[in-house]
Amino acid sequence: MGGRVQGVGYRAFVFNLAQQYRLSGVVQNLTGEVRIDAQGETGLLDAFAAALVSAAPPLSRPHVVSCQLIPLREAGDFEILPSAESLLAQIHVPPDNFLCEDCRREMLDPEDRRYRYPFINCTQCGPRYTLITRMPYDRPNTTMSDFALCPACLAEYSDPHNRRFHAQPLACPVCGPQLDFVAVHRQANENASRDAALASCVAAIRRGETAAVKGIGGYHLICDALNPAAIAQLRASKHRPHKPLAVMFPWQGEDGLQRVRDELQLDAVAQAALRDVSRPIVLIPRRADSTLPDSIAPGLNEIGTMLPYSPLHHLLLDSFAGPLVATSGNISGEPVLTDNAEAQARLGKIAQSFLHHNRTIARPADDSVLRVIDGKPRMLRAGRGIAPLEIDLPFALPQPLLAVGGQMKNSIALAWDKRAVLSPHIGDLDAPRSLEIFEQVIADLQQLYDVKAQAIVCDAHPGYAGSRWAAKQGLPLHRVLHHHAHASALAFEAGLEKTWLTFTWDGVGLGDDDTLWGGETLSGRPGAWRRVASFKPFRLPGGERAGREPWRSAAALCWECGLDWHSSVRDAVLLKSAWQHGLNAPVTSAVGRLFDAASSLLGLIDTASHEGQGPMLLEAAATDEAAQHDLAMTDLPLHKNDNGLLVADWTPLLHALRRDEVPVAKRAMQFHLSLANLIVKQAQRIHADTPFDAVGLTGGVFQNRLLAELALRQLAAAGFEAHLPQLAPCNDGGLAFGQLMEAAHRHG
Ligand SMILES: [Zn+2]
Ligand SMILES: [Zn+2]
C-alpha cells in the first residue's frame, strides 16, 4: 500500500482488520509504503482487501501500489514486522492534526490519567510536520525524543490493540511536555506551571490583557474577542490598526459550532470547512446581531473564524468560555515565532504574559486560511494542517526542481518524479527572519523527502529576495514570469489538457516588456502562454509605495486623464511634477492598483495599514444589490493596439467613480459589475479569433468573492467553462507551485 500510510495508525489498523477476518500473515513498514502478506478464506480475503482502503483510519490516504499472489505458507498469527528500508522510497510527511474525538473525551474525563492534559494525542491526532526532525517518522526523529516514555505510555505504545500503538508524539502528565506561565510585567510569584499555568493565562485574558500562547506551529497573540479595549491595546502594541484578526470560538453544542452560529452566518460549505481535520481559518459573514466588536475586522463583513484544534486550545477556550482573538504571534509579515526565548524577547512589548510549553517546534506553520467562493472552499493561505501539501503529478519530471515563489506571501515548492510538495506559508521575504525560515524550509523539505534539487525556478524579477538567493546556488536557473506562474498553477488543477484563456489579475509582477503587469489575459497552456489582452497602462507615482498608498493610484488615473486630484496629502504637488517627468513612476497595467484607486476615490481609504486593505474595503462597501440590475453599468471600450494586444480602457470607470452624487455602495457595486462584464466581453472577443476550452480566473484580485462570483456567473451564462483555483492560493502563495508547473512544461 502507498500514499499516506505512515504516522496515521495504518499498521495497527491492518493488524486488527486481519484478526477480524481471521487471516494470518504480516504487515511491515517499508520506507513510505506498507507491505501486507495475508492468507485465509477467499471471501474473507476479498473483504479484507476492500476494507484496506474503504475502512482505513481517517487521517490515512492509502492506495494500492501493487497486488500479487504469494505461495501458501504455514498458517499462524498475523504479525507486525519491524520497519525495513525500501529501494523505492516514497516518503510522505504528514501535516499537523487536530484533536480527535476519542482524545477529547479522555481529556475531559476526570477518571482518565490524561484528564486536562494539554498534550494528549494518538495515532489519529496530534502534531506531525512541526515536530519531525528527520524521516522515517519515528519518535527519536521528532522533537519528542527529549521525553522518555513512562511505563504506562510505553505499554500503550507497544500494544497493537491500543489506539496509541506507535503514536510517536505520545505523552502523558507523568512523562510528557508541560505548560509554563510567565507574566512579564508583574511579580514573579504569578508565574505558574501545569494546570495552574492555564488558569493564570485565562485570568490574564479576563483582565483584558494580551497573552502569547504557544500552540502547534507557533505562538498566537490572544485576547478577549468581546472586549474592545483589549483589542485596541493589542492593535496599538502590534502596530496593526486595521488588519482583520482571526477569532477562535469555544467548541460548544453537538457539532462544536453552536457559539459560531450565534455570531456568524454559517452555510453547509463553511461548516464543513471549519470542522475539517485541518481546522483552518474560514472567512465567514457576520450576522447582523453579532456581538463581536467592529474592531475585529474594521469596515469588513467577514470574520476569520476557527475552532480549537489542539488539546491546549480546547482547554483554553473551554475555561474562557467565550471567543478569543487568536492572531499570529509574529512581527509584521514575518513567519510566526516558535521558540520560547525568541517569542518572549520579540513579543514582550505586545503580550503581558506568555503561556509556554517545552515541546520544541521544529519549524513554523501558520494557520491555514480559506474563503468560500462560488460554493467551494478556496485556499488563501496553506499552512498548519494542510501543508506540506503533497500533490501527485500526471507526468514524471526528468530531474528534481525547487521553486522559490514570490516576494510577498512566500511559500516554496519541491517536485521530483511524479510528485510535488508545497510548503506552508512562510511570509514576506523582506525581513531577515523570513529569509532564515525560507532557507530552513528549503533545506528541511529536501532532507525530509530525501530529494536534492537539480535546478531552481524563480520569478523573473531579479530584485526578489528568492530570485537573488536562487542565483547564488550554482544550479541551473529558470526564470518564470509572475503571471505565467499564476496561470500555470490554475491550469494544473483545472485541466492541463485544456487550452486556456486565463485572466491573471493582481498587484504588480514583472512582465516580458519590463513593465509591471497585473491585468493580463493569457492564452495557451503551461509552457506556452501568449499575452492577448491587458489594460491601458498608467504610470504609478512612487513605484512600490503605491501598493501601500491607494491615493497614489487614484492620483495617477486622474492625472493620466488630465483631471485634478484633490488630496489632503501634502506632497501631492511635488509628486505630480515628478510623475510628469517620469521619475520613479513605472508603467503598470495592474488591476490591483485600479481597486486601490477606486477605494481611494470613494473616500474609503488613502493610506493602507496592511496589504490589500483598499480592495477589501471596496468589496465590503459594495452592498447595493439594486445596482446589480441597473443598466447604468460602465462599459469599458476595447481596442487592439499595434502589437495585436486587446487593451481595455479604464477611463469610463474613473468617471463613474468620481460621480459623488451616487451612493458609495452603488458605485462600489458598479465597479465590480463593470469588471466582471469586461471579463466576459474580452472572452467573447478573443474566442472569435483564438478559440479556447476554458476561462481561468487567478491572481490576488480574485480573492475578491464578489468579483469572482459575478464573473463566474456571467461567464457561465455566456456559455464558457470557467475556473477559479481551489487547491493552491490564487494569490502569491500559489506562485511557487505555478513556477514548477511552468518550468516543467517548458522542458518536459
Ligand atoms: Zn487522538
Ligand atoms: Zn507517560
pLDDT digits (tens, 9 = 90+) for 256-302: 999 999 999 999 999 999 999 999 999 999 999 999 999 999 999 99
Pick the CATH number of 179-357 from 3.30.565.10, 3.10.20.30, 1.10.3720.10, 3.90.870.30: 3.90.870.30
**From ligand 1's centre to the CA of 170, what distance in Å?**
10
**From ligand 2's centre to the CA of 145, what distance in Å?**
13
> CA-to-CA distance for 86 and 34, rounded, in angstroms?
10
Residue 191 predicted with pLDDT over 80: no
Do 34 and 52 meet the contact criterion of CB atoms below 8 Å apart?
no
The pLDDT, as a whole number, for residue 299 is 95
The pLDDT, as a whole number, for residue 574 is 81
- Segment 7-13 shows an average pLDDT of 86
Q: Which ligand is nearest to the CA of 98?
A: 1
The pLDDT, as a whole number, for residue 98 is 94
**From ligand 1's centre to the CA of 232, what distance in Å?**
37
The pLDDT, as a whole number, for residue 625 is 77
Q: Which ligand is nearest to the CA of 171?
A: 2
The pLDDT, as a whole number, for residue 728 is 96
Q: Which ligand is nearest to the CA of 174?
A: 2
pLDDT digits (tens, 9 = 90+) for 70-127: 888 887 889 988 887 765 567 889 999 999 999 999 999 999 999 999 999 999 999 9
Do 57 and 166 meet the contact criterion of CB atoms below 8 Å apart?
no
- Segment 433-447 shows an average pLDDT of 96
The pLDDT, as a whole number, for residue 690 is 93
- Segment 148-157 shows an average pLDDT of 97
Residue 722 predicted with pLDDT over 50: yes
Structure confidence at residue 632 as a pLDDT band (50, 70, 90): low
The pLDDT, as a whole number, for residue 746 is 87
Q: Which ligand is nearest to the CA of 164?
A: 1
**From ligand 2's centre to the CA of 113, what distance in Å?**
9
pLDDT digits (tens, 9 = 90+) for 454-476: 999 999 999 999 999 999 999 99
Bridging pattern class, strands 219-224 and 211-214: antiparallel
Bridging pattern class, strands 500-510 and 694-698: parallel
- Segment 52-58 shows an average pLDDT of 91
The pLDDT, as a whole number, for residue 568 is 64
Q: Which ligand is nearest to the CA of 120?
A: 1
**From ligand 1's centre to the CA of 603, what distance in Å?**
51
Pick the CATH number of 2-81 from 3.20.20.70, 3.30.70.100, 3.40.50.300, 1.10.530.10: 3.30.70.100
**From ligand 2's centre to the CA of 162, what distance in Å?**
14
**From ligand 1's centre to the CA of 250, what distance in Å?**
19
Q: Which fold has domain 385-494+737-747?
A: Nucleotidyltransferase; domain 5 (3.30.420)
pLDDT digits (tens, 9 = 90+) for 730-739: 999 999 999 9
> CA-to-CA distance for 98 and 115, rounded, in angstroms?
18
pTM: 0.94
Q: Which fold has domain 500-725?
A: Nucleotidyltransferase; domain 5 (3.30.420)
**From ligand 2's centre to the CA of 568, what distance in Å?**
65
Residue 513, judged by CB atoms within 10 A of its CB (0-12, 13-18, 19+), counts as exposed
The pLDDT, as a whole number, for residue 570 is 64
**From ligand 1's centre to the CA of 298, what distance in Å?**
37
Greater confidence, 172 or 567? Answer: 172
**From ligand 1's centre to the CA of 173, what distance in Å?**
16
**From ligand 1's centre to the CA of 125, what distance in Å?**
4
Range list of β-strands (E), 439-513: 455-459, 477-480, 500-510
**From ligand 1's centre to the CA of 113, what distance in Å?**
14
Structure confidence at residue 176 as a pLDDT band (50, 70, 90): very high
Q: Which ligand is nearest to the CA of 122?
A: 1
pLDDT digits (tens, 9 = 90+) for 222-240: 999 999 999 999 999 999 9
Cell output for 389 = 501539501
**From ligand 2's centre to the CA of 163, what distance in Å?**
15
The pLDDT, as a whole number, for residue 566 is 75
pLDDT mean across residues, the chain: 93
The pLDDT, as a whole number, for residue 747 is 55
> CA-to-CA distance for 482 and 510, rounded, in angstroms?
6
Long-range contacts of 608-613 (CB under 8 A, 24+ apart): 608/548, 608/549, 608/550, 609/240, 609/241, 609/242, 609/243, 610/240, 610/242, 610/243, 611/408, 611/547, 611/548, 612/700, 612/703, 613/242, 613/243, 613/550
pLDDT digits (tens, 9 = 90+) for 480-512: 999 999 999 999 999 999 999 999 999 999 999
Q: Which ligand is nearest to the CA of 8?
A: 1
**From ligand 2's centre to the CA of 178, what distance in Å?**
12
User: Can 385-494+737-747 and 500-725 be said to share one CATH topology?
Assistant: yes
**From ligand 1's centre to the CA of 725, what distance in Å?**
32
Residue 143 predicted with pLDDT over 60: yes
Residue 577, judged by CB atoms within 10 A of its CB (0-12, 13-18, 19+), counts as exposed
Query: So where are the chain's domains?
Result: 2-81, 101-158, 179-357, 385-494+737-747, 500-725
To the nearest whole percent, how much of the chain has pLDDT over 70? Answer: 97
Which helix (H) or strand (E) element contains residue 14? helix 10-20
Structure confidence at residue 748 as a pLDDT band (50, 70, 90): very low
Concatenated DSSP letters of 103-130: HHHHHT-TTSTTTT-TT--BTTBS--TT
